[in-house]
Chains A and B, each alone.
Chain A
Amino acid sequence: MSMNSIRNLSRRGFLNMSAAAGSSLLLPQGILSSALAAGPLPAVAEEEAVIGFGHVGPITDEGWTWSHHQGLLAVKEAFPKLKTTLEVENVPYSADATRTYRQFVSEGANMIFDTSSTGDFLHQVVKRAPEVAFMECNGHALMDNLGWYYLAHWYPTYVMGVAAGHLSKTGQLGYVASFPVASVYASTNAFLMGARTVNPDATLQTIVINSWFDPQAATQAGTALIDNGCDFLFGIMDEAGYLQVAEKRGVWAAMWNTDIRRYGPNAYVSSVIIDFKDFYVDQVGKRLAGTWTPGEHILPMGGGVDRDKWGQNVPEEVGKAADEVREKILGGWSPFVGELKDKDGKVRVEAGQKMTELELYNWDWSVDGVSGLES
């Protein structure tokens, strides 16, 4: 285990700086879904199986937690005879998380999903319950009974960036960021790289609001960005705050998690749509059948993450141009190929070199043109 730098911290678990363990860095780069040497856990009869979900927010958030809750519903539908499912909302990033997951174990859970990485708080439980399978969303550690999963959100984000390049008149893009963590670096970089294929002078200004969910702060951040000349807003929030600002001020906005176009039908461009249903059903199925092994899963575009249907005001040719890029990516092409320079002009990815999925997952520097994350 090696301690990662602050920027490699998990998506949700930014606050505890000591908690990130970067075992994935020790694995051969680019190999995903790799299993450890330990054998799979024994099979469980469906009638006796208990599946637990711990969420970071409320399932009514219409965003991140809602999507994971849909996954739980899909599991229930696929395995109607499950003895019981456990679900706890608003699991904090603290020792309370440990208590929550320990409670799951004592209630007989066979498989537990931590839908928003709680790092060491979860790992303490993982080590003490070797017969229980754990999956940590946006985790970084791999153990005999712990795997992690996330989404290749940088591809649909790149596609939306292409659309933003077409739609933005000023070339100034705004970004409402939560914390300077890897998913935010990947998101901002991919977005600007997409936009720069159309408008090479485009820039991206970020505002960090230190929360995944704070409609008030997101509203103010969106207002400040627009006041400063941005005419396209993007962000990584679990709510629609800045979309409503964009609607009011007549600029474009792209979102995360779910289709929330009704908050701002005129401003809405698209969204990074997430869908964990198939993944959860697959994982639970494997656990019941006794074939589950801990792995690292980054769900690809088209298999858990995608762009949403284009907004009503997005011109057809813009959608088409962006979708051509999407098709290319689906066909195996990667936009994340060197030469890539950071904002100081230092070459970070050599010419011709392709970034691996794990490098994208652990992205911790801003490409040239993205400002506000590093100071």
Chain B
Amino acid sequence: MDLLTGLLTTAFLAGAVLALAALGEVLTERVGVVNLGVEGLMAMGAVTGIATVTVVPSPMLGFLAALVVGALFGMVFALATVYVRANQVLCGLALTLMGSGLASTIGRNYSGMPSPVIFEPVKVPVLSEIPVLGPAFFSQNILFYLIYLILPIFFSYLMFSTRHGLNMRAVGENPAAADAAGIPVNLMRFSYVTIGAALAAGAGAYLTLAFVPSWSDGVVAGRGWIAVALVIFAGYRPIMATLSGLLFGLITALGFVGQARGWPIAPAFLSMLPYLGTVAFIIVPVLAWQKMRRAMAAPAALAVPYYRDMR
């Protein structure tokens, strides 16, 4: 396999986790809620995925089970932040701690066991013959296409080309105005926080059912936090979130390939690349695209609980 194909394969594989989790967080933040529990949700999704496939050997079922568990946790979080209006940052941290802890407790029985079934790669006919991109992108498992193509395009269309999407964004920008226009603010927030949490858990399941594929305590290793950071870089846009996940995967892959090829760059520097990348991700857009400042800004009501009687 040549350099570029190898690089892209690794990038796509590693990027998918971040892309899916970041997409979920985009949905959550667009309706004005910050969910810092992504790390914990991913851990729960990862352990749910593997626990399910040990009982029923179907990776799709494992993935669905993870989505359901993620949604349940998301509902609890949404109940606390949207209806009770508790502090979102604290609730998110609590969710991370609880999710990671619970996952490692449940995972004790599953640690040290390869996943009995995994998502097998599907070669897309014709397209997989394309040089470079073919083996890297069109010879992957089915989740892959869901994460990189179907979900981002669907949510992008929903968010920017439908009335429902307009309502959804209005809730995140100005809930009082949205409320006055007859949009059910709390229900909207509750729904998308739940969906976002489900996707985060799905990203965890992708880890144990396709990428790594086995459970071990600490398997998420901080990717949840990176996903939260990517949302800002992506300007709260679904397709951008997916692409930034991929870009992050690419930068990570570059570090490994550089070491494998013995490039005359210090390994320490190559390992630093993802983090330098993150810094660049945050700084470059601010400096380079001053005009896009408004377009890339966070939803105005982000992290602000909505009280109808305080309008």
Contacts and interface: CB of A to CB of B under 8 A. Distances in A.
Interface stretch (B30-38, B79-87, B158-166, B255-263): B255-263
Interface string B243-273: 0000000001100110111101111100100
Contact of B104 (A58, A62, A174, A206): A58
A184 B252 CA distance: 22
Given A61-B217, A220-B252, A227-B1, A208 B259 contact: yes
A112 interface: no
Contacts of A207: 256, 259-260, 267
A255 to B, nearest CB: 13
B114 A206 contact: no
B207 A216 contact: yes
Given A209-B271, A223-B9, 7 more contacts: A58-B104, A216-B221, A224-B259, A244-B212, A372-B259, A375-B266, A375-B267
B216 A61 contact: yes
Residue from the set A209, A216, A372 with the largest chain B CB neighbour count within 10 Å: A216
18 contacts: A58-B104, A61-B112, A180-B267, A205-B259, A210-B271, A213-B218, A215-B212, A217-B221, A219-B13, A220-B10, A227-B257, A228-B6, A240-B114, A241-B212, A262-B114, A263-B114, A375-B265, A375-B267
A49 interface: no
A216 B271 contact: no
B123 interface: no
Nearest to A241: B212
A208 B213 contact: no
Nearest to A66: B112
Interface in A246-282: 260, 262-263
Residue from the set A206, A217, A223, A371 with the largest chain B CB neighbour count within 10 Å: A223
Given A213-B216, A214-B221, A60 B114 contact: no
Q: How large is the interface on B (under 10, 10 to 19, 20 to 34, 35 or more residues)?
A: 35 or more
A284 interface: no
B164 to A, nearest CB: 36
Given A210-B271, A216-B223, A372-B267, A174 B10 contact: no
A305 interface: no
A216 B108 contact: no
Given A58-B104, A224-B256, A227-B257, A216 B216 contact: no
Nearest to A209: B271
A260 B158 CA distance: 46
A205 B260 contact: yes
> Looking at chain B's contact residues, is the secondary structure mostly helix, strand, loop, or mixed?
helix
Contacts of B14: 216, 220
Interface of B: 1, 3, 5-7, 9-10, 13-14, 17, 104, 107-108, 111-112, 114, 207, 211-214, 216-219, 221, 223, 252-253, 256-257, 259-262, 264-268, 271
A223 B6 contact: yes
A221 interface: yes
B111 to A, nearest CB: 4
Contacts of A263: 114, 214
B221 A223 contact: no
Contact of B13 (A215, A220, A371, A372): A220
A306 interface: no
A217 to B, nearest CB: 8
Contacts of B212: 215-216, 219, 241, 244
Given A60-B111, A224-B256, A224-B259, A375 B271 contact: no
Interface string A178-218: 00100000000000000000000000011111110111110
Given A58-B104, A239-B216, A375-B265, A206 B10 contact: no
Contacts of A50: none
A220 to B, nearest CB: 5
B245 to A, nearest CB: 13
A225 interface: yes
Nearest to B259: A207
A208 B255 CA distance: 10
A372 B256 contact: no
A221 B261 CA distance: 11
Given A60-B111, A263-B114, A227 B262 contact: no
Contacts of A262: 114
Contacts of B223: 216
Contacts of A209: 256, 271
Interface string A300-317: 000000000000000000
Nearest to A219: B212
Contacts of B114: 240, 244, 262-263
Contacts of A225: 260
Nearest to B213: A244
Contacts of A373: 267
